[in-house]
Structures are given as C-alpha cells and as structure tokens.
Structure 1
Amino acid sequence: MPAFSLEPEQTAWCAALRELAARQLRPLAEKGEPGRVNRPLVAALGEHGLIGRLFEAGALDLCLMRESLARECTEAETALALQGLGAHPVAAHGSPAQRARWLPEVTAGRAVAAFALSEPGAGSDAAALALTAAPDGAGWRLTGEKTWISNAPEADLVTVFARTTPGAGARGITAFLLPADRPGLTGAPLDMLSPHPVGSLFLDGVPVGPEDVLGEVDRGFRVAMGTLDRFRPSVGAFAVGMAQAALDAALAHTAARTAFGGPLSDLQAVSHQVAEMAVRTEAARLLVYAAAAAYDEGAPDVRRRAAMAKLLATETAQWVVDTAVQLHGARALLRGHLLEHLYREVRAPRIYEGASEVQRTIVARELYAAGPVPESAS
C-alpha cells in the first residue's frame, strides 16, 4: 500500500460497506433497544459475511470495515467489533473442538460473544485481576465478578480470564471459554451512556475443565494482550469513522446555514475550525492505517504503533465531534440528532481496550525499551 493510500478496489469496497450500512443495517439498528443486544442486526452482519471476514481479514481490512460502518451506522460497527473481540481468542487459541462448536455460530450471527477481562478492581491494570480459579479435580471452579463487559449479560459465549496461580501477576492468568448456560454464571446489565449493551458477570463456583481452556494454563494474559493488540488500531478506525461523520455534518450545515448576511462557511472563525477538523481527522486516519499495515507486516514496533493510533484517533474524534456540535448549536443536542448520538458514542473509546493514559504509558515504555537516541544523533 504505497504511502498508505487506498487501492481502487479498497475504495470501492469501503463505498459498498457504507451503502450497506445506510440502506440495510441502519434501519435494523434504529429498531433496537438501547442497552440490549440487537440480534437481528448481528444476524444481518453474519448474513452479509462481515463477521466471518473479521477472522480472515488483515488488520488494515479490519480498520476499513470499522471506519466505513461507523461513518454510517455506529451500532452496526460496534456489534461487528464486539463479535470479533469476544471470539478472536477462540479463533486464535481455541482447540479444534472449541472452534468447531462456536465459530460457525458466531460468524453466522446466531451466537453473541463477549470478552470478559475487566473487574471492579482490575480495569487499566489488567494483570491485577482477582477472579479465582480454584482447583477442583481435573479442573477448576471460577469465583468472582467481571464488570464493564460489552454484550453482558446477554452473550451466548464468554471469554473469561481468571487467576489460576495466586501471586504470579500476569503469569498466573488463564483464559477460559464459557457458554452462557454454565451453572453458577449469572449477570446484570449496567445503565451506561453508550447505547451498546454493557453489564456485569457474577461467577459463583462455575465449573470449568481442561477442555474449556483457551491456549495454555497460566498464559491467558498473552491471549488477552494479543487480542487487544489486534483490535487497538481498529478502535482508532471506529473513532475516525465517527470523526468523518461529524466532519461531513459540519460541512453540510455550515455551507447551508445563513447568519450575519451569508453562509456560516464565509466566516473565517467557522471555516478555519472545519479545516482543522479535516486535518486532524486525516492525520488520525493515516496513523491508524500505518499501525494496521505494521501489524499485517509483523513489524517489531506494532504495540507502540497500535497504542499511538488508538490514542490519537480517539482523542481526535472526541474533539472533532465536540467542535461539530458547537458549530451546529442547540439543534445538535436534540435527542435523535446525528451529533447527539455521536457525542454519546465517542466518549467510551477513550476508555475501553486501554484508556488514553494506558496508551501513553505503552508508547513511552516502548520508546525507552528501544534505547535512548545518542546525543550526537539528536
């Protein structure tokens, strides 16, 4: 991909995705209930082959999918991404039996997946998780709580991370694949600002065996971090899609709205804001594409690039959406307005899958790990 410009077939595919989102997926999203899994929407994503493509596509294609869908229908984008996040550990680390049981159901949109890492006392510090896996014969019993889990408590399968070796930090965590009907597993929804479903999961002695392990015992932290590394650039793509939607709305509004004897776009204070929105959005887009390309190429600095992309794109999208609201005035705050919707949607990506502060920590750590630049070269 020369200089991160898209090939004609990629551009055409993105346009087709936006049309699909606007014509077929958005009507399904509008019929959904905020805070609940929209199963008809998930099924439609499966029918159009988009969920299956999640597990076949490279990181760049994943970013193009998420950006294109987000520009027209954030609900469709989020439903797609959550299927990927919840089931990627199965695709990447599952046994043949686990993959055969669940991946066809997930890709068809018949089964909803969830990724359960965060706990009340372990959010940004994921290695501090306390959900215990107590030995029980050849297996374990899981006890504890997971919270801020997307698609909980309605998911049909959950990737759960539990501590199998006390006091071992990140080295004592194991990933388990649980069906939702496992005895002792319950949950409750959380009333969140973001419209997609988020909830808590409660595990009271949930029985698991070796057949439920994803990957290897005590190496589940690698499963978690590998999944997050895979999806971080595409979280940035989601943010870029929302920023572009806000920019499109601002362009249309300021060109048509008259004030002080002419269109708002004639006012330098307005046009310069729109120009800044465009510059920042494009810069974020290019950094996301660069991070995705680095992931696909197996570059050694992919973790730093992914963190940089998520950080810049999510922070940029927040600013762009907020600026678009300001340019629209009070009308943008009306319930149901595109920008009112984006204003609620854009806040969460700065927190989930590693908050902005965590991304800065990753970038700094990776920079220092690479060694200081010799003074003669600075």
Structure 2
Amino acid sequence: MTGWLGWPFFEERHRVLADCVERWCAGRDFSHGRDVDAACRTLVADLGGAGLLQPCIEPDVRSLAISRATLAAHSGLADFAFAMQGLGSGAIAIAGSEAQRAQWLPEVAVGKAIAAFALTEPETGSDAANIAMSARREGGGWRLSGEKSYISNGTIADVLTVFARTGGEGHAGISAFIVRGDAPGLTVAERIRVIAPHPLARLRFEEVPAELIGQPEQGFRIAMQTLNRFRVSVAAAALGFARRALAEAIAFTSTRKLGKATLADNAVTQAGLAEMALGNDAAALLIARAAWAQDTQPGDPRRAAAMAKLHATESAQKVIDMAVQLHGGAGVTCGVKVEELYREIRALRIYEGASEVQRQIIARDLVREHRG
C-alpha cells in the first residue's frame, strides 16, 4: 500500500507523515450512520486534534497527496473532511492578508473552523468563468447576492471562500471573498443528497456581508491556483480508493472457492488483478511526479496535474468496477467495502475539473508548447 513512499519523489518527512496518518486510521470505527454532518464535525475535530490537518494550510502538495491516499483507503468521508479543510481555506492561504491568514488558518488547522469552497452555481459547473453571483461595495465591505450549488460542507461550514462578480463578463470580473458561516442572509436552500453521503448544499446569499481576499477582479486566478494546488490530491484520493479495492479483491478471491482451487488461482481472475495493479502503479507514478513538480520545480504544473487527475480517477473507476465484478453478488451488497468504494469513486471524475476539462488542459498545453 505504501511502497511508493520509497520512490525518489518523496522525503523522509513524507514517510513519517504517512505513518502518522496510518496509525490514526488503524482500528478506528469509520461508520457514521445517517448523520454525515455530525460525522464530519467529529472527523475534522479529531484530525485537527491529532495535528493531521496541518498539510491543508501549507504549500506542500506531496503531503496533501500522501494524506489523502492514506485516508481514502480507510474512509471516503475522512478523506472528504480532510480535503475540504484545505480546499476551503486554500484561497486565504494563497492570497489572504496577514490578518485573514492569522484569523482563519490556525482555526482550520486545529479543526475548530470547518471550511468550504463556494464556486459552483446552479447554471455554472465547469464553466466557472461565467458565474452570476454579484458583489457590491457597502462602506468598507461587500455584500453578496445569488446562489451557489453543490457546495461541500455547505451545511456545516464556519468559514466559506466565495467567488462573486464585481466587474464585467468572463473571468476578469470575478473576485474572492471570505464569508462567515453564521453571516446574516446566508441560508441553506437545499440539502443535496448524493450516492456517497457528504454534507452538500445549495446556498442562498441575500445581501450577505463579505470580506475581500486579495485585490478586486483577481478571484478567478485565485480560484484556479487553489484548484491546481488540490487537483493532484484528488488523484491521490482516487489512488487510495483503488488500492483498497485491489486489496479487497485479492483477499476475497484468495478465499473464495472455485472447484478444488480458489478464485485467485483462475487465469481470468489473475489477469484482472494484474490490470488493477498496473492501473494503480501508473496512477501513483503520475501523482508522485505531479506533486514533486509542484513542490520543487519552476514553471506551470497544470499539465502534469491534469494528467495525474485524469488517469488516476478514470483508472480507479475501472479498478473498483473490477473489484465489484470479482466479488460477484457480494460486490453490490450494501455494507461490503467494494460497494462503498463504487459509490465513493464516481464523483472524483467530476469535481475539481471533470475528466473532459482535464483533457482540454492537457491538449491546449501541448499545442501551446508546439507553437512556442
């Protein structure tokens, strides 16, 4: 499961971190019942209390990737709780003032403030440059009006990074803001139920007070920097899911009787397991390269990050599907781990840039490089 930590992309501190996260997960009961809001609050508090949320506020992509790959192998909700602390506070870490960073980042890191990232709107998903939420100046502050949709932690957030329009059309007119979770005029318009239970919501903003992050009309750049920083970690979460699926498939097929042998002795099964392992190792290499490049190399990391996210999420979907197939009827039975993984993986091919968007990023960068 952790063999990639011996690769030259990682340092000793990353191996120490992986061990700390693994020990935190070991023996822990991750069942949460129907109340995912309460479960997420508990997970954030426990992760923060253990010091494991610190990578969320630091510019070290390898630490984010290692943490998410480890958490995802144990619990999709634990991975979600961790990731949103980083994504939700990312804009503050990247472009916030010294006062904003001092106010919010320590609270996020110890799990006392739950963070959310509010970019998507009912009519704009991947087309983030055309968001419609408006922001107007009022005295020394701002007021936001409009709606955001599919907002992770939308039902429980203490602090939200919100993107709204302060200028004209397109990405040039977007600014970034901090909104408190208890701000007047901010309401949960709808709780959104998805196949892998997470605290998602559609939020309504009616003249909600907000604090500008950075400079006006720099919000789109800040949003893209935040997403680029966390895109590789999405790939790592997919890898964590896929590695767990392979482990579950090996364990199941090694004990499942097939005639006088086991399912694992069957040549067709072995071919499937081999393909699963190949997909996982290829994803791990792309993730390690992209994370290392973002941490240590100059230049634009978008292509490497997009390749990692695209391959890891698409491959994990296939790996987990194969694990379900190898389990037979047990694979689609509620409560079996591979059935849970099957529900968890699907969203990763959509959020933080759908697979189609990643292909565009890769192709455009190739063409740009060719043209010089």
TM range (shorter): over 0.9
Unaligned residue ranges in structure 1 (runs of 5+): 374-378
Matching residue's letter, 2:236? A
Any conservation in 2 of the 1:4–1:290 contact (CA below 8 Å)?
no
Matching residue's letter, 2:181? A
Identify the residue that residue 46 of structure 2 maps to in structure 1: 44
Identify the residue that residue 245 of structure 1 maps to in structure 2: 244
Q: Compared with structure 1, are the counterparts of its residues 12 and 160 closer, same or farther at alpha carbon in structure 2 (3 Å cutoff)? A: closer
Determine whether 1:33 maps to 2:29: no
Determine whether 1:219 maps to 2:218: yes
Residues 250-281 of structure 1: per-residue CA shift (max 9 Å, x gap): 11111111113211111111101000000110
Identify the residue that residue 185 of structure 2 maps to in structure 1: 184
Larger CA deviation: 109-118 vs 132-141: 132-141
1:230 offset after TM fit, Å?
0.2
Q: Compared with structure 1, are the counterparts of its residues 222 and 327 closer, same or farther at alpha carbon in structure 2 (3 Å cutoff)? A: same
Q: Compared with structure 1, are the counterparts of its residues 4 and 348 closer, same or farther at alpha carbon in structure 2 (3 Å cutoff)? A: farther
1:13 offset after TM fit, Å?
4.0
- Percent identity between the aligned chains? 46
Matching residue's letter, 2:37? R
Q: Compared with structure 1, are the counterparts of its residues 147 and 270 closer, same or farther at alpha carbon in structure 2 (3 Å cutoff)? A: same
- 3-state SS in 1 of match to 2:367: helix
Larger CA deviation: 274-283 vs 333-342: 333-342
Identify the residue that residue 62 of structure 2 maps to in structure 1: 60
CA distance in 1, matches of 2:233, 2:290: 9
Residues 148-201 of structure 1: per-residue CA shift (max 9 Å, x gap): 11000221110000000022x111100000001211111131111122211111
Q: TM-score when scaled to structure 2?
A: 0.94
Q: Compared with structure 1, are the counterparts of its residues 260 and 68 closer, same or farther at alpha carbon in structure 2 (3 Å cutoff)? A: same
Which residue of 140, 145, 148 corresponds with 1:146? 148
1:18 offset after TM fit, Å?
1.9
CA distance in 1, matches of 2:143, 2:209: 5
Identify the residue that residue 282 of structure 1 maps to in structure 2: 281
CA RMSD of aligned residues (A): 1.9
Identify the residue that residue 260 of structure 1 maps to in structure 2: 259
How do 1:62-81 and structure 2 match up within 5 A? 62-81=64-83
Residues 5-27 of structure 1: per-residue CA shift (max 9 Å, x gap): 65566445424422321324xx2
Which residue of 158, 161, 169 corresponds with 2:160? 158
Identify the residue that residue 171 of structure 1 maps to in structure 2: 172
Unaligned residue ranges in structure 2 (runs of 5+): none
CA distance in 2, matches of 1:9, 1:207: 41
1:324 offset after TM fit, Å?
0.1
CA distance in 2, matches of 1:153, 1:70: 22
CA distance in 1, matches of 2:165, 2:56: 29
CA distance in 1, matches of 2:31, 2:41: 13
- 3-state SS in 2 of match to 1:231: helix
Q: Compared with structure 1, are the counterparts of its residues 60 and 171 closer, same or farther at alpha carbon in structure 2 (3 Å cutoff)? A: same
Any runs of at least 4 consecutive aligned residues in structure 1 with deviations exceeding 6 A, and if so which? none
1:73 offset after TM fit, Å?
2.1
Larger CA deviation: 38-47 vs 131-140: 131-140
Any conservation in 1 of the 2:290–2:301 contact (CA below 8 Å)?
yes
Identify the residue that residue 341 of structure 2 maps to in structure 1: 342
